[in-house]
Amino acid sequence: MIRRPAVVVFVALCLPHPVAAQAPSLAEAVKSTVSDRALDRHAREITSSPRPSGSPGENAATDYVAATLRAAGVPVEIHEFMAYTSNPVSAAVTVPGTDFAPDAITMSFSGATSGAEAELLDLGTLRDLPELEVGTGERLAVRAAERWAHVRGRVVMVTGQPRNVPTAALEELGAVAAIFVNPEERLNELIVTSTWGTPSLLNAQRLPRLPAAQIRRSDGEALREMLADGPVRVRVRTVVDQGWKPLRMAVARVMPVDATEDTPYVLFGGHIDGWHYGGTDEGASNAAMLELALAFHAHRDLLRRGIVVAWWPGHSNARYGGSTWFADRYFQELRRRGLAYVNIDGIGQMGAKRFSVSTSPALRRLATDVVTAATARAPGQGRPGRNSDQSFNGIGLPLMQINHSRLAEDGGYWWWHTPEDTYDKIDLGVLRTDTDLYADALAAILSDPVVPLDLSAEVDALHEALDRREADAGGELDLTAARAVTDELGRMAARLDEARRRGDVPTELDRRVYDVLRPIHRVMFVPGSDHHPDPGLYGAPLPGLEAAAVLAEESPGANRYGFAQAYLIREVNRLVEALHESREAAASLLRAMDVRW
């Protein structure tokens, strides 16, 4: 029996978003076409085999998606390309001379070793080590590195999830190997590289060499008990299958009936590879993507804009290798035609209770209004992290993801990235609710007379980020020039939003609002270069100014201060130039609309 949400009726009664209110016909048509039985059939099929990237299981899932689309007449491309992948094979953590030999795994892109042996050093808990969590440039600059001299030559044990930042920091500090102790009594598959997509000549040197293993909480406690009695020598072995693999990617293109080579489109993506059977991470989401592609195609007569749906391979064991390949190969087309990147991941979870949205500022209001209207509850709001196939920030696409999660008091998402993530963890009622939310949000972008973007929110977020970076620098960074352009952009954004809300902006002119938005989005999400993926070490807005904090931590004359200053002056130049580009686009658009500011 499939549970249908009782709140569907609410959609018609409560639509606080004035723009979304004009889109119900496409949304309702799509939702009435999405089939519960088909969602279940797709999810069962896709989750029937393990799907590490490049595996027969992943290829079978991709072929199923493509065949289902083709049978309905949906245009679908299959791309095949080589990607640099890394599969964790096995790990062993032993204390020579004892029978201590717990279950252990290694991680994707860990260094490999037939046996690294040294005295064990316990660093405690990652949460208490902010110095190991700070990324400030293309290479990591560990704060107060001299404090960490004792790490060199040791096998380091630390409680926390194995991630790229601590791995890079411990490698830089000269550790021999790392043992990550899972904070829970389980082992979660993870990835430890700070490269993004297939490495290039620019960043291949950042592929980790440090062997990294993971053990359960209780085994970490056992090691700590041994340490309490005196020094302990530990041996770590890791086996990793790393190299080039052919990957296959299905991409559906659903365009309005009167589409041209220039018709703008939303990019809607989710990963088809998964750890083990990938039930809710993310066979369920893949099924929703498939039903939505079919339903939007069935109602393409109602589309003003197109939707390109991509099932990314290489999300985990090629570290976003699929979405990055697509961003690189379609860079110019996406700059010309891309409207937004909508990511889907982890929907349909059994026991999910909390809704949240992860968006860039321009799409926050749309996502929030869609969830509030459908569930009668305001969702939590956040900014997308540097994860989840967010490979399109250099293009400047605004971001949206809608999440529906389990509560910690219900045990949280305990099967995530484990062999327990199987089909039975999917709740078909939850999956249907979540699929309908994506239908509502996508339908608004695809059929509203103007794209529901909030430019003023974007400029407000930019103001806040400038304040924060100046505060980080403790008075050592001057952002006056950026602030002056931002003030002017704020006034222009208010005028543009007003005119667009009134709905009297011709479609051809409305597209130019992206020329205003994109330069801001890029500096808000990308450090360094729009064309080369960054290390994925950053979370906060204006990541190019992350090193502002170094100016407050160090004294003028210190090497680290001087290096940070050299980096920051270039990043401020890049920022100011981007804001001028945005200002020029706004002025030109306002003039074309005959609006004064």
Q: Which residues bind Zn ion (CB under 5 A)?
A: 281-282, 345
Closest separation in Å from C-beta 381 to Zn ion = 20
- Cβ–Cβ under 8 Å, residues 309 and 289: yes
The alpha helices in 129-246, defined as continuous H runs, are 164-172, 217-228
Residue 541's alpha-carbon distances to 48, 288, 523, in angstroms, are 40, 31, 8
Q: For residues 404 and 379, give the distance between their C-alpha atoms in angstroms, rounded to a whole number.
A: 9
Residue 237: in which H helix or E strand, if any?
strand 233-254
CB of 413 to Zn ion, least distance (A): 11
For residue 421, the minimal CB distance to Zn ion (Å) is: 10
CA atoms within 13 A on the CB side of 521: 29
CA distance 23 to 334: 24
- Residue corresponding to tokens 């339908």: 443
Q: Where are the beta strands (DSSP E) in 255-393?
A: 265-271, 306-312, 338-343, 354-359, 380-382
Query: Whose Cβ is closer to Zn ion: residue 58's or residue 345's?
Result: 345
Which residues touch 44 (CB under 8 Å, ≥6 apart)? 423
Q: CB-wise, 438 or 561, nearer to Zn ion?
A: 438
Residues 6+ apart with CB under 8 A from 426: 43, 47, 279, 280, 283, 284, 348, 349, 350
- Provide the minimum distance between the beta carbon of 388 and Zn ion in the complex, in angstroms, as a whole number: 7
Give dist(CA 514, CA 588) in Å, integer.
12
Name which of 385 and 506 has its Cβ closer to Zn ion: 385
CB of 345 to Zn ion, least distance (A): 4
Q: Tokens at residue 192, please?
A: 């430890």
Q: In whole angstroms, how close is the CB of 285 to Zn ion at the nearest point?
A: 7
Considering beta carbons, is residue 138 or 189 the nearer one to Zn ion?
Answer: 189
Q: What distance in Å separates the CA atoms of residue 282 and residue 67, rounded to the nearest whole number?
A: 19
Candidates 469, 480, 478, 483; CA nearest to 548 is 469
Distance CA 573, CA 175 (A): 37
Whole-angstrom Cα distance, residue 507 to residue 536? 36
In whole angstroms, what is the distance from residue 407 CA to residue 384 CA? 20
The least CB distance from residue 358 to Zn ion, in Å, is: 13
Residue closer to Zn ion by CB (options 50, 490) is 50
Q: Both tokens of residue 271?
A: 């990963």
The helix or strand, by DSSP H or E, that contains position 354, with its residue range, turns out to be: strand 354-359
Query: Could you tell me the smallest distance in angstroms from the CB atom of residue 239 to Zn ion?
Result: 25
Residue whose CB is less far from Zn ion, 281 or 510: 281
As a 3-state breakdown, the chain gives helix, strand, coil percent values, each rounded to 5, of 45, 20, 35
Minimum separation from the CB atom of position 308 to Zn ion (A):
20
If the CB atoms of residues 43 and 459 are measured against Zn ion, the closer one turns out to be 43
Closest to Zn ion by CB, 159 vs 280, is 280
Nearer to Zn ion, 94 or 349 (CB): 349
Bridge partners (DSSP) of residue 88 are 240
Tell me if residue 523 falls in helix, strand or coil: helix
Q: How far is the CB of 271 from Zn ion (least distance, A)?
A: 6
Q: Least separation, in Å, of the C-beta of 244 and Zn ion?
A: 23
Minimum CB distance to Zn ion smaller for 39 or for 455: 39
Closest contact distance (angstroms) between CB of 359 and Zn ion is 18
Name which of 211 and 321 has its Cβ closer to Zn ion.
321
Nearer to Zn ion, 137 or 162 (CB): 162
Residue 514: count other Cβ atoms within 10 Å of its Cβ: 23
- Which of 506, 524, 523, 355 is CA-nearest to residue 441? 355
